[in-house]
Structure 1
């Protein structure tokens, strides 16, 4: 039987990463992400999978972000009962993210039913917190750089990708062949995370392309962050920062700590309004060997903010007129408490909204960053009069030059390279660079395509 690879997410779009590797006697799903963004993309989350979840023998996760892990509770609810292999840090972060997303799914369904702004009667959650708990019981962590037998003659090896804590390159090998999944690649010379591990060879490669058509600017990201915070404080406003509670939030807090310590911004109170961010910070400080910060730096960065736990404290932030910084999930403004704060602060020109990276097409974040005059939140239109900034420099994603630098470390070209996890222009731009500069056999697969790895 030939070995095949199916692209059932993360192909033709940034989100929903799902790659099904089918070898003789073994089916392994690499990543199990949620589709996020536009309604046509989100509809994929509700469609039956193109394969029976019960037929999957194991899941491999490259990292914890929901566009790579967030569909797992639904997969388990629909019958998957095999092991989920991820690094220990990814497992710990998924404990936070999956449970929180289950709660948010339930909360959003309840709000839709109470206020009647859903076409579905009744509106239902994609999955619940209980479903997330069931999925977490399937985890069987695998450490970095430790070859692991996943059955059926397949061997798994994780190596650091430098994107967020626990993020991994996932290499699966069988007989004399191998396939490498990049997951999300981190940036070279990051302040916090290590460089992506060098890989010298693989037969088949899936490489991400989130920033495949652009370069991060050369400016100092801290200086740009300091400028927007200082401007906003001078006019008596509040800075809203939609942030991924896992990964980007910890990087942001480190920069805020340094800016305050160097007195480059006013000594404004910083609030992290995300119940899971405090737990993520604790995990970050637990895995000191997997990032560049010392224990003292890690504690200082995490202690620069006040962590808001309950909904009453969160609502009180909106009633407080004093200048401040509010960091809240989600990073693309697709859900979570950031929506409450946007509904309150976005229409006041004294305030500012600061994004920290690429906003997936079809999300509120993309609309706001793109200059929309109003966005819909909880069924009503909210005017966007606040200053809007997007500091791509703070993104945890490799840019096009970073990706090409990583690819240049291969001793020999892969037999086939697939460019994934990008909007079509970004994926195509990266494909052209790989073909023109490296001379590799390279393509951008379509959603739903199945290829034979021969």
Structure 2
């Protein structure tokens, strides 16, 4: 086998791994690059292999940095099968068309307001492209082997992180390689812990939080205090959030806070996401993937008022009362949250609260670093609102949790590749693995190709 790293190197986005065996070529993950402009431009580059020459794609999970390039891959000629878990397919049916729709809306907005350098501004792909890509999906079950192509078979185990997230092991006649995908946390309040893997010849492991340990303080208390402090000064709490996974976790926490009286039961909470209703129904459908009862799922669903239409979203910006608005995207790279940041970012009574990792080059990273203005839709918006971050709400395992998961392998892999992390995070995790487990490991470069003997 050979592996070529087409993404997820030097960044937490764009995860794509080209695996070749004999005459077969498959992709593990097919994500969008996000963050710095030089990374985003890679989405427009010619793909390193003709999409038609790919036999199949195997997805670890539904987040766009792992699945969001699929509509373009299909548009450019891919016609094989896309293997993933049942829950991942259900989430992609919501997430990918929504991504295409947002890309079209952003291109249209740029054209109407004339701030794009391109005339006309075009979307990377459309909602129709995304819907067409869904026809190639072939969902499979956990813990059973399936044939990916002539030379390769695969198996999926639960990774935690979000619904349907998988650790993927792929075998040829001579060797086996395992991809961690994004690893969840062992004590997540909603998701089940990642399953252990006993043996593999090669390992590709994520390193999003490879250079840090999560804060041990109770995130429920921090979230409640932030919301209360903001409301008491008459402000609005804006929470940029991924619409799938993180948004549902936030709603569950807000349900608990209101139930306990930690925040006022009458405080308005809005989830500005047209896909939220469908996403929450998927939690009820895939009960084996998480810890919540059906009653808890229902309570989570009703913790916020769902905002579906653009008109409702615009109307929120006219409200001048204490409230909480949860809106995508989680790193403020696009979506409806941008309009809320324009409306509320300049008022010091308000709070912008980040609850997940912020990749370098994103607006989220810039705001957390102390920017006094952010560029949205071609113009700078002064930033006077309080900016806070709750790190320990993350759905990613930290350095200690990753090494703890690795320690359950019966024997060291021949080589461990550290990917899906900023340069410092990947290198710190590499050192941690070498010093703690004494495994051979390395951080691959973008487009590097490695023979797996």
Q: TM-score range by the shorter chain?
A: over 0.9
The TM-score with structure 1 as length reference comes to: 0.99
Residue 239 of structure 1 is matched in structure 2 by 237
Distance 1:176 1:23 in 2: 10
**One of 149, 170, 173 as aligned partner of 1:172:** 170
1:149 CA displacement: 1.1
**Deviation sequence 1:399-442 (CA, Å, 0-9, x none):** 00010000000010000000000000000000011111111110
Residue 278 of structure 2 is matched in structure 1 by 279
Q: Please tell me the root mean square deviation across aligned C-alpha atoms, in Å.
A: 0.7
SS in 2 for 1:188: coil
Q: Retained in 2: the 8 A contact 1:23–1:152?
A: no
Distance 2:207 2:148 in 1: 28
Residue 31 of structure 1 is matched in structure 2 by 29
Residue 305 of structure 1 is matched in structure 2 by 304
Distance 2:301 2:352 in 1: 22
Distance 1:191 1:299 in 2: 16
2:136 is equivalent to residue 138 of structure 1: yes
1:288 CA displacement: 1.1
Distance 2:316 2:10 in 1: 39
SS in 2 for 1:381: strand
Distance 1:27 1:336 in 2: 34
**One of 217, 220, 223 as aligned partner of 2:221:** 223
1:88 CA displacement: 0.6
1:116 CA displacement: 1.2
**Deviation sequence 1:213-246 (CA, Å, 0-9, x none):** 0000110000000110010010011110000000
1:282 CA displacement: 1.2
Residue 195 of structure 1 is matched in structure 2 by 193
2:314 is equivalent to residue 315 of structure 1: yes
Distance 2:364 2:333 in 1: 7
Distance 1:102 1:431 in 2: 36
**Deviation sequence 1:378-419 (CA, Å, 0-9, x none):** 111111111111101111010000100000000100000000
1:20 CA displacement: 0.4
Distance 2:444 2:218 in 1: 36
SS in 1 for 2:249: helix
Distance 1:217 1:321 in 2: 33
1:98 CA displacement: 0.5
Distance 1:81 1:31 in 2: 16
Residue 116 of structure 1 is matched in structure 2 by 114
After superposing on structure 2, the runs of 4+ consecutive aligned residues of structure 1 that deviate more than 4 Å are none
1:279 CA displacement: 1.3
Q: Retained in 2: the 8 A contact 1:257–1:301?
A: yes
Residue 393 of structure 1 is matched in structure 2 by 392
Distance 1:32 1:153 in 2: 20
Q: Retained in 2: the 8 A contact 1:24–1:152?
A: no
Count of matched residue pairs: 452
1:307 CA displacement: 0.2
**Deviation sequence 1:124-144 (CA, Å, 0-9, x none):** 110000100111000000111
Distance 1:287 1:175 in 2: 33
**Deviation sequence 1:321-340 (CA, Å, 0-9, x none):** 11111000000101110001
Distance 2:342 2:264 in 1: 25
1:10-409 correspondence runs (5 A): 10-267=8-265, 268-409=267-408
Distance 2:288 2:158 in 1: 12
Unaligned runs of at least 5 residues, structure 2:
none
Distance 2:446 2:279 in 1: 32
Unaligned runs of at least 5 residues, structure 1:
none
1:122 CA displacement: 1.2
Residue 4 of structure 1 is matched in structure 2 by 2
1:276 CA displacement: 1.1
